[in-house]
Structure 1
Amino acid sequence: MRLTIFATTDVHGAIYPYDYFNTSEKSASLLHVQSYIERYKAAHPDEMVLAVDNGDMLQGDVWSDYDYRHQNVPLFVPHVMNGIYDVIGIGNHEFNFGLDYLDKAYGQMDAEIVNANVDFKNHPLKSRVKPYTIVENETLDGILKIGFLSVVPTQILKWDAAHLEGKVTVRDMRTTVEKIAKEMKAEGADIIILLSHSGMSKNPDQVKSYGENQTLLMTMIKDIDGIVFGHTHEFFPDTTFEMEIDNIDFRKGVVNGKPMVQPGVSASHLGQLTFDIEHDGSWRIVDSMAQLIDSDRMPLDESLKKKYEDLHEQVSRYLSQPIGHIDETWHTYFSRVLPSEAVQVTAEAGKAYTRDLMEKGEIETLPIVAFNAVIRAGRDGPNDYTVLEAGDITLSAAIDLYKHTNIMTIIKLDGRTLKEWLEWSASQFNQISPETDELLEPNRSKDGFPSYNFDTFFDLDYTFDITQPPRYSGTAKQISDSERVVEMKYDGRPVEPDDCFIVPANNYRVSYTPFLREAEVVHESYRHVRDIVVEYMMAEPEFEHSNPMTIVPARKYRMMSATKAKDYIENDSRIKYIEAIDDGFSWYEIDLSKEEKAWPK
């Protein structure tokens, strides 16, 4: 007989087939996935078919935001999930809204919720979330017991410390899986599937105890029969997967004999694990494989779309609330090198919020240094950029500008720590020699430098010498004693090590970054940064666009961005289109020796 398990991961609220930022239909969504699964079940009545989600469903897109803002009515995302899933694992972003909201959301779901390495202590989630579940299915040969367990990175204690500190404990993923899988076998599980909200890496820092991306280690646990993994928004099986692994069969999607699938992000793909099993006194797996199915190729069941159309319209009305006006188009196509107003506005909002607290006497009056990272810069594909056209803007624009649910956290820093922070940002650039011209590290969280960790400090003026080796990795681990920051000024004066500054930040950055964890927190608002940005935009403020960063050597480089970015290159710009690559990306030339006359907005 055949067992088929369909899997999603990192959907991030991409429920309905509509792009609320570009106001256009989408060819990939969770409803596309549901359409495919339902058609498959109807066409294969003799197969045992189950559907699972591997976490990061409840945060990230506008349906998720709508749910959080409308908790007094039944939530939309759980309602849709109830029509799809049998088992649901937990991702790190599930904790972004706090434990009480998570309990409310899970309380409205019909599927089994599993996680094995988070202890919720005295919270009601302790009884709602099970370490594992065993699904029993009647067959002609007897009952087949399929077990599911789930784990999430221990780093949630840093990323969401404001919500989790003192309320949960988190155990190492690999050792937990080994222990719980044995328990499941002892309880009679015939097949065990791991939902690993963790990427696959060979980097020693990732696979060590309490490492963030340990999935490769899970392939070596004998009691595990198949793996759904995620977190890093990559695709597997895929011959372009950025890692060389021994004992891998890309054709069958098998690593160390175990079928594995990582179905991307935002319902871009559906994962499928297939097991051919037989019973000869006990259940035995005869053959297994894994594959990805592209959601773009899935016909949408129009009746499903119609079923949730009313919810879609409610979300659309919510997002259409006007919040301000901009005179020129803002975008982030080149913002990893030339900061744009689409990045700067969040820093300006944080600065205005901080200045107001200073005027009220609630925090010490010191120079304010505001920053922001490039949140959407192509990490999740060529459509993963912010573009706000000139004119009136709505609430959806604020979500596009700052999609995370981070909390405003204001800290006090000295110049010494501020320089380390800049060294981390400077590390996103490749080390340049006369023979190299590719400017940026890959924009990915695993073995690269994700754009959401590249901070631009708009109230400073600073220079990076990128002929020197990087000082930090993309995860803020120091990897050398090199120094790239050759100049750092505030208000025209060099910043000294003992100078003090107030920095409007966020809970993620403060808790995640090693050199910031001991920083003095002078204000923690428990307000989301996005709400503060919305209020700032509603006041229609004016601020002077700033590019605080100078890169040496100042010469021509290559960088990658979306192909459609060429339509946003201004006359006399330092940026020139070169050629298309594939999958919607292209190479561009950026001439840093040329004085910029037209800013990319």
Structure 2
Amino acid sequence: MSSRPSPFALPLLALAVALLAGCSILPWKYGRAPNGARANVAILETTDLHANVLGYDYYKLRPDDSLGFERTATLIRRARDEFPNTFLFDDGDTIQGSVLADYQALAQPVTCDQELAIYQAMDAIGYDGGTIGNHEFNYGLGFLSQVTGTPMKVEGGQTRRCAGPHFPLVLANVHSIRDDAPIFNPWAIISKTIEAYTPDGSKIHVPLKIAIIGLTPPPIMQWDKQNLAGKVGVSGVVETARKYLPQIEAQHPDLVVAILHGGLDAAPYTAQMENAGWYLAGMPGIDVLLLGHSHSEFPGPRYAGMKDVDARRGFVRGVPTVMGGFFGKDLGLIQLVLDRQHGRWVIDHEASHSEVRPICRKPAGPGKSGRQPLVCVPADPAIAPLVQKAHEAAIAYVNTPIGESSLRLSSYFADEGNMTALAPVNAAQADYVRNALPRLHPELAGVPVLSAAAAFRTGFGGPDDYTDVAAGPLTLRSAADLYFYPNTLAAVKVDGAGLKAWLEKSAERFNRIDPGKTGEQALINPHYTGYNFDQIQGGVHYVIDVSRPVGQRIASLTYRGRPVTPGEPFIVVTNNYRANGGGHFPGLDGGNIVLAAPDGTREILAKWLRRQHTLGSGNLEPTSWRFAPLKTQGPVVFTGASGKLAVARAAGLTGIRQLNDHGDGTATYAIDLSR
């Protein structure tokens, strides 16, 4: 293992066996490499693939070279050519997140003898192991048990072994309520023969034994409560690692790799911490750390300045660490240089480093149109034929007609007040609850029903990562574009004070703007994700004053034209993620849910759109909020997709102008907050 001393003694039995077997150098734990030998090992990582097997946008029905495992596979093959010794692991959030995934899980579920498309693709490349992310639980334990080929002693779990990936999946911190045992193997051992070199330069082949342990975010019990409550329990990341590391050490691995579907957070640790990688790295016995969940890259500038983190070379508290992006856009790679010292492999931290290799890069010069088109690696030709049938079926599925729209429904300027993409979601959600709630809770029949929705696609993944449904025919693809995630619907009861607190939390999406500052000021807070900017409709109107500090920005809040009072009751329709505490909104922890629908929000939306026949301004509520008028000395700016000013104008946002085109599909816009 690494240079940190092991807290566990070498079993005498293993020593005796090795001596009897005639090993003249060291016991079997340490292999046959002589002291002074040196090896170069690459740990490769994918994470948050979200079933993006191909580089294809199912919402726009066109190829998208900027994402997809078929191109990550090319990077994997190139890394294997570059490094003689490689191990490949997946960090989870693998089976959910694309139209193809929903088709194989919901529209036409795979049978027990069918392997998921994403696992077929991964098996074609060959993985050494992986873990389970939070989104693996979105389709329920029965489906997860089936498609991972993992019999589970849980309610609804598969008891027989179905077709699953051809590599071990490990998960240590989720256990069955029935027998208190982990629903997956908590850890596994992977052994390979590697190339190494003796001090005199001679090549030798020696065994290397790597242990992997998998961990997922504990808040899954909130996020997927309807799928998990009463069936499984979850433990904190640090507590779980402390429990299983002695078992792993007893197997005498050369390296221990922790595969955590979580990111980095140096805030005080709790057993419910979502991104506990910083604390996991501090545990003796962890040699290498693989991260995910955060949809970002490590090493990378986002983590610069974090305590005990080298965000340039990729170390967290001295442990080599990587987080390889999302959607197949990148490959994470840790180059480990191992030295043989005192009969064990030791990581040379000075010679080792981590990096994130993208499938697409910007070229050195501009293209013919002035833009800089991305230069992407070619797709691995072995992948597409494996999934072609499922891919074509998914396209046919999302093209099922469900209605018409006279409006363009877009999220290009959702942060600035265009709610066209959110209004149908809010209308469908509110309609469902207004019909269902009186049957379940007659006592709440007179309570006003509001609805909260957030724009899930606001450019985080690049200039094409926006919802954009053209006026004209609506299909299931339109519903999937308008509602990106397979959440279920939930409704909570709040009072006026709770409603205001909800909106104050949402308003953290914006930076505080100083009206007297003459330089540029960014409107959007990059650390507050777009899917947490809830916009509420249903008769409310509110004003956001971005010159005020966080928690004091809702300058006005009215319902049906009168001020909302702190004690008056409301029902707010949202999704199961938010209602159960996702996003850490005040007062939302699952305790005030009055309706937890068995239906998916996307399916509810599709049915509502069918009933409308034609969608237009007559059946959609107008934007429910505005910015407080604010005259600034300098420009207030934000980044968006370039060339979309006409979308803003059509939505009535006349105070927006495009300043410059970045040449990569994005542009800087300015917004006049005084209008």
Q: What TM-score results when the alignment is normalised by the length of structure 1?
A: 0.88
Task: Measure the CA separation in 2 of the matches of 1:211 and 1:103.
Answer: 25
Q: Give the aligned partner of residue 304 of structure 2.
A: 243
Deviates more, 1:341-350 or 1:185-194: 185-194
**What corresponds to 1:77 in structure 2?**
118
Say which of 466, 490, 493 aligns to 1:409.
490
Q: Is the 8 A contact 2:46 2:91 kept in 1?
A: yes
User: What do the CA deviations read for 1:43-87 (whole angstroms, capped 9, x no partner)?
Assistant: 36x823221110111111112111211224323233323323221
How far did 1:435 drift? Answer: 3.1
Specify the alignment match of 2:380 in structure 1. 301
SS of equivalent to 1:336: helix
Of residues 115, 129, 133, the one that matches 1:91 is 133
Residue identity opposite 1:468 in structure 2: R
Q: Residue 129 and residue 360 in structure 1: after superposition, are their counterparts in 2 closer, same or farther (change >3 A)?
A: closer
**1:56 alignment partner in structure 2:** 93
Q: Which residue of 2 aligns with 1:271?
A: 332
What CA deviation, in whole Å up to 9, does each residue of 1:516-549 have, x standing for no partner? 2365433222111110011111223442341211
The equivalences for 1:554-569 within 5 A come to 554-555=630-631, 557-566=636-645, 568-569=647-648
Name which of 80, 104, 107 aligns with 1:67: 104
Aligned partner of residue 422 in structure 2, secondary structure: helix
Residue deviations 1:492-529 (CA, integer Å, cap 9, x gap): 12222232222222211111134023654332221111
Of 585, 588, 610 in structure 2, the residue corresponding to residue 538 of structure 1 is 610
Query: Which of these residues, 580, 597, 614, is aligned with residue 525 of structure 1?
Result: 597
Equivalent-residue separation in structure 2 for 1:519 and 1:426 (angstroms): 23
* Structure 1 residue 221, shift from structure 2 partner: 2.7
TM-score by length of 2: 0.79
User: Which amino acid in 2 is paired with 1:544?
Assistant: L
Pick aligned residue for 2:422 from 343, 363, 367: 343
**Structure 2 residues without counterparts, runs of 5 or longer:** 1-38, 150-163, 195-203, 361-375
1:110 and 2:166 are equivalent in the alignment: yes
Cα offset, 1:588, TM superposition: 1.3
Cα deviation digits, residues 263-322 of structure 1 (max 9, x gap): 111111011122233546333334432221111242212243233222211111111111
Distance (Å, rounded) in 1 between the aligned partners of 2:248 and 2:329: 32
Structure 2: distance between partners of 1:247 and 1:516: 33
More displaced stretch, 159-168 vs 340-349:
159-168
Q: Aligned in 2, Cα 1:32/1:522: closer, same or farther, shift over 3 Å?
A: same
- Asked whether the equivalents of residues 7 and 54 of structure 1 are also in contact (C-alpha less than 8 Å), the reply is yes
**Does structure 2 retain, via aligned residues, the 8 Å contact 1:91–1:231?**
yes
Q: How does 1:178-327 map to 2 (within 5 A)?
A: 178-202=242-266, 204-205=267-268, 207-238=269-300, 240-245=301-306, 249=310, 252-279=313-340, 281-286=343-348, 287-296=351-360, 297-327=376-406
* Whole-angstrom CA distance in 2 between matches of 1:498 and 1:245: 42
Q: Would the aligned equivalents of 1:36 and 1:299 in 2 still touch at CA under 8 Å?
A: no
Report the counterpart of residue 387 of structure 1 in structure 2: 468
Q: Residue by residue, what CA displacement relative to the aligned partner does 1:13-69 show, whole Å, maximum 9, x if unpaired?
A: 11112111122212231111223323544x36x823221110111111112111211
Alpha-carbon distance in structure 2 between the residues aligned to 1:257 and 1:564: 45
The equivalent of 1:505 in structure 2 is: 574
Counterpart contact for 2:409–2:421, Cα < 8 Å: yes
Structure 1 residue 332 displacement after superposition:
0.6
Amino acid at match of 2:414: S
Aligned-residue offset at 1:333: 1.2
Shift of 1:168: 2.2
Match in the other structure for 1:476? none
Alignment partners' CA distance in 1, 2:483 and 2:145: 25
Matched, 1:486 2:486: no
In the other structure, the counterpart of 1:597 is none
Work out whether residues 117 and 151 of structure 1, in 8 Å CA contact, stay in contact via their aligned partners in 2: yes
Q: Would the aligned equivalents of 2:424 and 2:620 in 1 still touch at CA under 8 Å?
A: no
Is contact 2:417–2:626 with CA below 8 Å preserved after alignment?
no
Tell me: CA distance 1:127–1:161, structure 2 relative to 1, closer, same or farther (3 Å): closer
Please say if 1:154 is aligned against 2:224. no
CA distance in 1 between counterparts of 2:276 and 2:337 reads: 27
Q: Check if 1:163 corresponds to 2:227.
A: yes
**Unaligned 5+ runs, structure 1:** 472-482, 595-601
Please state whether the residue corresponding to 2:453 is helix, strand or coil: strand
Which deviates more from structure 2 when the two are superposed, residues 221-230 or residues 347-356? 221-230
Is contact 2:104-2:110 (8 Å) kept? no
Match of 1:120 in 2: 176
Q: CA deviation at 1:191?
A: 0.8
Determine the C-alpha separation between the residues in 2 that align with 1:96 and 1:555.
45
Whichever of the two has the greater Rg, that structure is 2
Q: Which amino acid aligns with 1:524?
A: A
Using a 3 Å threshold, how does the CA distance of structure 1 residues 72 and 213 change in structure 2: closer, same or farther? closer
Looking at structure 1, the residues matched to 298 and 601 of structure 2 have their Cα atoms a distance apart, in angstroms, of 34
Verify the 8 A CA contact 1:340 1:545 in the aligned structure 2: no
Contact 2:492–2:592 under 8 Å retained in 1: yes
The alignment partner of 1:55 has SS state of coil
Q: Percent identity?
A: 28
Secondary structure (helix, strand or coil) at the match of 1:516 reads coil
Tell me how far 1:128 sits from its aligned partner: 5.5
DSSP 3-state at the match of 1:369: strand
Which stretch shows the higher mean deviation, 418-427 or 273-282? 273-282
SS at match of 2:240: helix
| Contact map agreement 2:121 2:386 (CA 8 A) in 1 | no
**Counterpart contact for 2:488–2:575, Cα < 8 Å:** yes
Of 532, 540, 543 in structure 2, the residue corresponding to residue 463 of structure 1 is 543
Matched residue type, 1:192: V
Could you say which residue in structure 2 is the equivalent of 1:3?
41
Distance 2:293 2:382 in 1: 31
Q: CA deviation at 1:246?
A: 5.4
Separation in 1 of the partners of 2:474 and 2:386?
29
Counterparts of 1:440 and 1:158, CA distance in 2: 31
Letter in 2 for 1:90: I
Q: Secondary structure at the match of 1:271?
A: strand
- Look up the match of 2:432: 353
- Maintained 8 Å contact 1:67/1:77: no
Counterpart in 1 of 2:459? 378
Matches of 2:73 and 2:432 in 1, distance apart? 43
RMSD: 2.6
Secondary structure of the residue aligned to 1:137 is strand
Q: Distance in 1 between matches of 2:247 and 2:302?
A: 33
Does the CA contact (< 8 Å) of 2:173 and 2:235 recur in 1?
Answer: yes
Residues 521 and 637, structure 2, Cα contact 8 Å, conserved in 1: yes
Change (3 A) 1:359 1:154: closer
Do 1:413 and 1:519's aligned partners in 2 also have CA atoms closer than 8 Å?
no
Distance in structure 2 (CA, Å) of the matches to 1:518 and 1:168 = 17
Q: CA deviation at 1:250?
A: 5.3
Instruction: State yes or no: 1:34 paired with 2:73.
Output: yes
- 1:394-438 deviation per Cα after TM superposition (whole angstroms, max 9, x unaligned): 212211111112111122322222122122122322223223563
Instruction: Tell me the distance in 2 between the aligned counterparts of 1:326 and 1:177.
Output: 52
Aligned CA distance change for structure 1 residues 104 and 355 (closer, same or farther; 3 Å): same
- Note the C-alpha offset of 1:93: 1.3
Residues 243/583 of structure 1: CA separation in 2 closer, same or farther (3 Å cut): farther
Q: Which amino acid in 2 is paired with 1:110?
A: H
Aligned residue identity for 2:234:
V
* Mapped contact 2:510–2:525 kept (Cα < 8 A): no
| Residue 120 to residue 78, structure 1, CA distance change in 2 (3 Å) | farther
State the AA in 1 paired with 2:669.
Y
8 Å Cα contact 1:158-1:511 kept in structure 2: yes
8 Å CA contact retained: 2:128, 2:167:
yes
> One-letter code of the match for 1:57?
T
